Amino acid sequence: MSARKLETGIRQEQIALAALELVAGKGLNGLNMAELARQVGLVPSAIYRHYKNKDQVIDAILDLVKARLLDNILAVTAELPDLLDQLQAIMMRHLHLIHQTKGIPDIFFSEEVFQGSAARKAKAYDIIRDYLTKITELVRQGQQTGTVRADIAPDTVAIMFLGMIQSAVILWHLSEGSFDVFRHAENVWKLFSNSLLPPKIGENGK
Amino acid sequence: MSARKLETGIRQEQIALAALELVAGKGLNGLNMAELARQVGLVPSAIYRHYKNKDQVIDAILDLVKARLLDNILAVTAELPDLLDQLQAIMMRHLHLIHQTKGIPDIFFSEEVFQGSAARKAKAYDIIRDYLTKITELVRQGQQTGTVRADIAPDTVAIMFLGMIQSAVILWHLSEGSFDVFRHAENVWKLFSNSLLPPKIGENGK
DNA sequence: TGTACATCAGTGAACGCGCGTTCACTGATGTAC
DNA sequence: TGTACATCAGTGAACGCGCGTTCACTGATGTAC
């Protein structure tokens, strides 16, 4: 019983998607070529028609994750004008994305990425930098329009923003879901957004 | 050539310390029993005189990490009275600790922990919760003495605090050290500590 | 003080499993003529 | 419109390596008598 022949572009996407699913909860150690092949309805060796080796499958997953994260930002900025609304919406979308695609933190904090080759780490770092650059740019615009106080470094704000999301995700992940990430998001957003507001007139800056 | 006999308590500590060193940069995948034994001057099978299996070695590393993180907090609170000074000192010590013991993020974001068994994840979660509980308590005290604004949830502040450190560590780790974590710490501290200050008199709370 | 004995850390060879990867093959598909 | 051929996705058996773990053993050490 042979699987239907499909062109390599389609198979590559199927394989990457299946891999991202499989990684959820089990990590990359739990992703083996046999199971991955079964998931797509192929035999293990068939994977090698579409990817040179497991490393390239991992890279493909990273590309997938990158696209999803950045799409979030694009969708939000196209939709909302105000910077604070944008950041809040990005955070919520980001959390929902991870809630629904648990493989994302798993792949990011997998050993092949987090402790992988220099090239692999550089790839992950690039994704984060891309993300941060976009957030930084938004903050800068917010400063120009006066929504955000002008005396803070936009890139620092971006990293803080990412950290706020990351810590929530990590707690949620390690707690097996018992940590209420959305309730926390609400609280932490107040704290964070408040720290961005320009000082009121009459208040002493320092 | 036989290694000198040492009692199991001493060997356990030697092995855990060596394991924490070995894990640095390579992750738990890079930690194998053969290399670990060599590091301590033993033969692979000798490890099993002191630990039942690799899992128990990993648990021992986690215990080591937990102790170091919590010692930081204790040392700081014994030394400084003001809450904001305390938090800043804890952050700096935390960063220095990780700078000098790179294995800490490696073990925390290793697959055996981050995607490990429920028990393993629970253990890691407990360490973080312990840490957060202590920070939360400090913040609460700061609110009582009026150093920190009273209208924010102390546990949210604690998670934000941890997130600030985590994101810096992650960037530093993925960038292979090129991200200037200490310069970032200075900037982000201003932003964070500012958000904790009580509103000035005459300022509108909301 | 000396001897027999129990204890237990250290040894080295071997096992066995998981898993990524290779390779010669098959056969469906679309194209050239 | 029909036939020969090249292409290439899919197959299944086998390989080989890394590595955690077991086991029967040795021999140093401290204690009991």
- Cα–Cα distances in angstroms (integers) from residue A153 to residues A133, A199, B146, B189, in the given order: 13, 15, 28, 12
The tens digit of pLDDT for each residue in A109-141 reads 999 999 999 999 999 999 999 999 999 999 999
Torsion, Cα A106 A126 A190 A183, to 10 degrees, reads -10
Position A199 scores a pLDDT of: 82
Nearest-CA distance from B30 to chain A in Å?
Answer: 9
The tens digit of pLDDT for each residue in A142-161 reads 999 999 999 999 999 999 99
The tens digit of pLDDT for each residue in A78-105 reads 999 999 999 999 999 999 999 999 999 9
Q: Flag if A200 and B195 touch (Cβ within 8 Å).
A: no
Position A204 scores a pLDDT of: 45
Nearest chain B Cα to A175, which residue?
B125
Structure tokens at B148: 């920190």
**Chain B within 8 Å of A63 (Cβ-Cβ)?**
no
Please report which residue ranges of A80-117 form alpha helices under DSSP H: 83-100, 103-108, 111-114
Cα separation of A113 and B173, whole Å? 11
> What one-letter code names the amino acid at B27?
G
Cα separation of B26 and B35, whole Å? 12
Average pLDDT over residues B110-131: 96
Q: Flag if A163 and B166 touch (Cβ within 8 Å).
A: yes
Cα separation of B116 and B60, whole Å? 15
Nearest-CA distance from B136 to chain A in Å?
Answer: 14
Look at residues A42, A150, A114 and name the one whose alpha carbon lies nearest to residue B105.
Answer: A114
Establish whether the CB of B59 is closer than 7 Å to any nucleic acid atom in strand D: no
The tens digit of pLDDT for each residue in B50-96 reads 999 999 999 999 999 999 999 999 999 999 999 999 999 999 999 99
Angle between helices A154-174 and A118-144 (to 10 degrees): 120
Report DSSP letters for A158-175, one per residue. Answer: HHHHHHHHHHHHHHHHHT
What is chain B's percent helix, strand, coil content, to nearest 5? Answer: 75, 0, 25
What is chain A's percent helix, strand, coil content, to nearest 5? Answer: 75, 0, 25
Residue B65 · residue A148 · CB < 8 Å: no
User: Structure pTM?
Assistant: 0.94
- Cα–Cα distances in angstroms (integers) from residue A32 to residues A36, A131, B90, B110, B163, in the given order: 6, 30, 41, 18, 32
